Amino acid sequence: MPGDGAFYTLCISSSSIKACMARLRFRNCLGASVLSLLLAGTAVADSEASRYYEDAVQRFQSRDAAGAIIQLKNAIQRDRQMLAAHVLLGRALLAEGDAQGAEVAFEEALRLGVNRSEVVVPLGQAYLFQGKYERLLDRLEAGGLPAPQQAEVLLLRSSAHLERGNATAALRALDDALAVQPGSTMVQLARVTVLLRSGQAGAALPVVDELVKRSPEHAGVWDARASLLHMRGDVRGALDAYGRSIALQPANINARIARAGLLLDAGRLDEALLDVDEVRKLSPREPRAAYLRALISSRKGNDGEVKAALTDVVRLLDPVPVSVLGANKQMLLLAAMAHVGLGNFEKARGYLTNYTRMHPKELGPAKILASIYIGMGQHRQAISLLEPFYKAGTADPRALSMLASAYMTVRQFSTATEVLEQAVRVSGGAPQARAELGVSLMGMGQREQSIEQFEQAFAKDPGQAQSGVALSVLYMKQQQNKKALATIVQVVKRHPDNLSALALLGAVRASLGDQVGARQAYEDILRRDARYSAAVLNLAKIDLAEGKADAAQARLAQLLKREPKNASAMYELALVEEQRGNLTAAVNWLEKARAVPAGRQRAGIQLADLHLRNRNLDSALSVAKDLVARAPEDVDALGALARIQLASADQASARQTLNGMARLAGYDAPRQVDIARWQRQAKNDAGALHSLEKALSGDPAYLPALLLQGETLIATQDFGRAEALIGQLGRQADRAHLAQRLRGDLDLARGNAGAALNNYRGALAKAPEADTALRIYRTHLVLGESAKGLAFLEGWDRQHPGDPATGRVIGDAHLRQGNLAAARQVYEKLQQRQPADPDLANNLAQTLLRQGDSAALAQAERAVRLVPGEPAYLDTLGWVLVQQGRIEQGIGHLRDARLRLPNDPEIRYHLAVALHKLGRSREAGVELEAALAVSGEFAGAEEARRLQRDLVGR
């Protein structure tokens, strides 16, 4: 058997699984978050589901978690969309020790749209107890949460970092937690644990001393002191400290296990056995007690008892799910070593496989597992296990010997061959010198120089299809589509059988609005090769653009029948379903496309954006992080992640993501402009200017970059540089109106609204553009001339009909002014042109509600049907139902909205009104208090205060 000291360390750094679950159970039964959950629970139209839910709430409050679970499952069986039932189910399962089931419940709640602040801490606990440390770190961020939850999340993140062996990151997380909750004993105890486990006993000493002075009645403080003293070699002091801890908390299993280990090391076997026996009384299923008993029996020379004790260890640990056992690396290794000691190599292999997967950098367990693999003739598995250590430069002779033996047995080829083959595949052959340079420049984002090289190559040899095709693509990216058309036509004339060139011809014609010509090009391809799938896909896109969704679907279905794994066809089918408003089917198609390696990134980005558009932020974030994990340098994937982080108000993470994107995007002007726009949303104007400078280095004349640079310079009050840029643009006749518009922006920033108005009018006279018209309207508002501004904008709209942004602003202005008839007329007219716009439906619903028109319900339902998870739309629908007397139905939507957006005071006020109407005054009071605590100024604030006074007076 291994030495006692090594396993003493193993024992004191572990926590009893049952004890952990017991603490978890206590916390979840009595935690303050339970009341919030009860008051935020989703009620639904299905009254039977609601009854099951309310009964579960009562059971959970009475600490009957098992009964609550049964009732919650009954509720969910009747209403799978019942958000609060999933949340409470997760808490109840966690209280019963089912961390895996709790995770599933919380993840489903997040998928349905619960605000992450409602479940982030218990979800983190579920991850931690299952050993899902990377998932915890990937999914749980403290940003945007209330201070107490930030601290709890940071503690969870610290624990996860520590279990992954990153003590530095663990301490950083604790520093952040302490900044949120200064003086927290729990945070400081966690710091001691990190310092001790990372061998920094000296740094832990002052922390422990301060804790002893400040919290001498806290058992955990004496545990920490004992661990520190033992590490410093003061066994007597450590024993005394554990004694103090046990005196304060006699059922402190961890302290008794640790003290027994110390007594064992000191040869005081009978005293150690007393603590072991006491632990067995307190927790009969504690495996560390069984292992200590094996060690004590080994010291006494009783081999039969050693075997019996090891058998107890495996009997206790084998039934524990690996997901739970894996949360404690020492326990998992303990189970493996017990089986090795008993000669159960097959079982030991299972535990060691899980251990090495979770802790891939630990060579010792990997060698034990590799020796088991080789003994079983599984040499390839041994290679996979040991090869990373070899590449990392390990000097362990045993590991190298085993790996060499496995290599010789399977005659392994060098991976260099695979690298070389991959290089050959992506090179596409050796093109001519200028074309080669053009490709290189294009990859660096130097488009102007790249175009110059391709133009010279194509002029010298018009028969060079590669240069002609590349040149056409670059022209399209520069929005020089007529040049692209002229070039690709030349290529097709010289190479009429080049189907790729024909496909590009179709794409160029489509970009010029020539759908007939594009369709002709693609149909020409199919006449030559009926199995050319790209042509089928593009024809389906044309069908969809022309509103022929059924034709597009039929075409794509036929393609999938022939090519079942065509990810692009699945992607296009998702777009068809999304256009129809069938979001579930769209998600299903994108998930299928993601399952195909060729479509994983593109479909994943579309799926993330689809979730984002539907306000399923957690689902969107999960997809985006998976994309970035698979391809960390994929700029499009990073862009999807940044957009979601911005939508989640996590500006710090968004800035970090965008900084990485800016580095990877090089001098690609369009990409850098996108990054700059997102940087501005993330309040990082310096980062935006950096991206714009890179964009203009790649393409000095790129207009979107110049305009955004001017706007950003004005926003940062760098008026001198802004003046210079405006002068540069003004010297170009085709850009003079944009220069004057920027001049208006500059005047407005300087506080001269009158001058700004004159410049905007001048710009509008040069080029009638909606952006400029809207600037004139907003300047009138700045001048306090709202009626004059609205009259101007309505006149502009009559002269230039069809711009949805202008119409929306007009409708919103009428609504704000209380001109409901005019607002309704505008919204209804816009909706005829944009039937799938949820904002229009929502605004129209609010207008109709204020008019007392029952048609408000249909519009509210329409908005929710178009974007099911948007809290604002759910609030409108719930409020309409409540106002129409259908309170039981309305309250479900209001509670759903409140769970998704808990800091919106108007939503909470609406929920309070609904609860009050149902006679649930206590819950209504809680919601009113929360609403007014968030803000004293919101639509309905005065009514909220009046209702609160009425409730208090009862």
The per-residue DSSP string of 37-81 comes to HHHHPPP-S-HHHHHHHHHHHHHHHTT-HHHHHHHHHHHHHH-TT
In a domain, 385, yes or no: yes
DSSP 559-586: HHHH-TT-HHHHHHHHHHHHHHT-HHHH
In a domain, 345, yes or no: yes
Write down the residue that tokens 């090891």 correspond to. Answer: 310
Contact 691, 704 (CB under 8 A): no
The tens digit of pLDDT for each residue in 714-772 reads 999 999 999 999 999 999 888 999 999 999 999 999 999 999 999 999 999 999 999 99
At residue 953, the pLDDT reads 67
User: Residue 523's closest CA among 511, 546, 540?
Assistant: 540
Write down the residue that tokens 């005019």 correspond to. Answer: 822
At residue 281, the pLDDT reads 86
In a domain, 333, yes or no: yes
Instruction: Give the residue from 400, 420, 440 where a domain finishes.
Output: 420
Over 90: is that where the pLDDT of 380 sits? no
In a domain, 20, yes or no: no
Q: Which two tokens stand for residue 405?
A: 């033996």
Residue 323's pLDDT band (cuts 50, 70, 90):
low
Single-letter amino acid code for the residue at 782: V
Ranking 291-300, 400-409, 578-587, 645-654 by mean pLDDT, the lowest is: 400-409
Write down the residue that tokens 């509670």 correspond to. Answer: 895
The tens digit of pLDDT for each residue in 415-461 reads 322 322 322 333 332 234 454 445 544 544 556 666 776 677 677 66
In a domain, 280, yes or no: no
Q: What 3-state class would DSSP assign to 292?
A: helix
If phi > 0 it is left, if psi is from -120 to 50 it is alpha, else beta; for residue 146 that is beta
Q: Considering Cα of 597, then 599, then 602, then 604, what sign does the dihedral take?
A: negative
Q: What 3-state class would DSSP assign to 296?
A: helix
DSSP 495: -
In a domain, 117, yes or no: yes
Instruction: Give the residue from 95, 112, 130 where a domain finishes.
Output: 130
- Please, what is the Cα angle at 678 between 675 and 682, to 5 degrees? 130
The tens digit of pLDDT for each residue in 49-100 reads 888 988 998 899 888 888 999 999 999 999 998 998 999 999 999 888 788 8
Work out the percent of the chain whose per-residue pLDDT is above 70.
87
The tens digit of pLDDT for each residue in 713-727 reads 999 999 999 999 999
**Terminal-residue alpha carbon distance, the chain:** 72
DSSP 200-256: -HHHHHHHHHHHHHH-TT-HHHHHHHHHHHHHTT-HHHHHHHHHHHHHH-TT-HHHH
Question: How far is it, in rounded angstroms, from Cα 101 to Cα 127?
Answer: 11
Question: How far is it, in rounded angstroms, from Cα 300 to Cα 298?
Answer: 5
At residue 623, the pLDDT reads 93
Residue 511's pLDDT band (cuts 50, 70, 90):
confident
The tens digit of pLDDT for each residue in 112-171 reads 888 888 899 999 999 988 878 889 998 898 888 888 889 999 999 999 998 888 999 999
Contact 87, 37 (CB under 8 A): yes
Q: What is the mean pLDDT of residues 605-620?
A: 89
CATH code of the domain covering residue 115: 1.25.40.10
Contact 102, 93 (CB under 8 A): yes
The tens digit of pLDDT for each residue in 770-814 reads 999 999 999 999 999 999 999 999 999 999 887 888 999 999 999
- The mean predicted confidence, pLDDT, of the chain is 83
At residue 474, the pLDDT reads 79
Write down the residue that tokens 């020409």 correspond to. Answer: 524
- Please, what is the Cα angle at 415 between 413 and 416, to 5 degrees? 110
Residue 755, CB-side half-sphere exposure with 13 Å CA sphere: 12
- Please, what is the Cα angle at 203 between 197 and 208, to 5 degrees? 85
Q: What is the crossing angle of helices 719-730 and 736-749, to 10°?
A: 160
At residue 462, the pLDDT reads 74
Residue 405's pLDDT band (cuts 50, 70, 90):
low
CB contact set of 746 (below 8 Å; sequence gap of 6+): 714, 719, 722, 723, 726
Contact 583, 616 (CB under 8 A): no
Q: Which two tokens stand for residue 133?
A: 């440390």
Over 80: is that where the pLDDT of 46 sits? no
Write down the residue that tokens 């639904």 correspond to. Answer: 44
Contact 385, 357 (CB under 8 A): no
Q: What is the mean pLDDT of residues 900-927?
A: 92
In a domain, 76, yes or no: yes
Single-letter amino acid code for the residue at 162: L
Instruction: Write down how long the chain is.
Output: 954
At residue 336, the pLDDT reads 83
In a domain, 234, yes or no: no
Over 90: is that where the pLDDT of 348 sits? no
Work out the percent of the chain whose per-residue pLDDT is above 90.
39
At residue 334, the pLDDT reads 80
At residue 917, the pLDDT reads 93
Strand (E) or helix (H) holding 829 = helix 820-833
How many separate domains does the chain show? 2
At residue 449, the pLDDT reads 64
Structural domain of 114? 31-130
Instruction: Give the residue from 395, 420, 445 where a domain finishes.
Output: 420
Question: How far is it, in rounded angstroms, from Cα 260 to Cα 247?
Answer: 15
DSSP 117: G
Over 90: is that where the pLDDT of 378 sits? no
Question: How far is it, in rounded angstroms, from Cα 433 to Cα 397?
Answer: 50
Strand (E) or helix (H) holding 655 = helix 651-665
User: Residue 454's closest CA among 438, 436, 477?
Assistant: 438
Say how many C-beta atoms besides its own lie within 10 A of residue 625's C-beta: 18
Over 90: is that where the pLDDT of 351 sits? no
User: Residue 186's closest CA among 164, 205, 214?
Assistant: 214
Q: What is the crossing angle of helices 397-410 and 379-391, to 10°?
A: 130
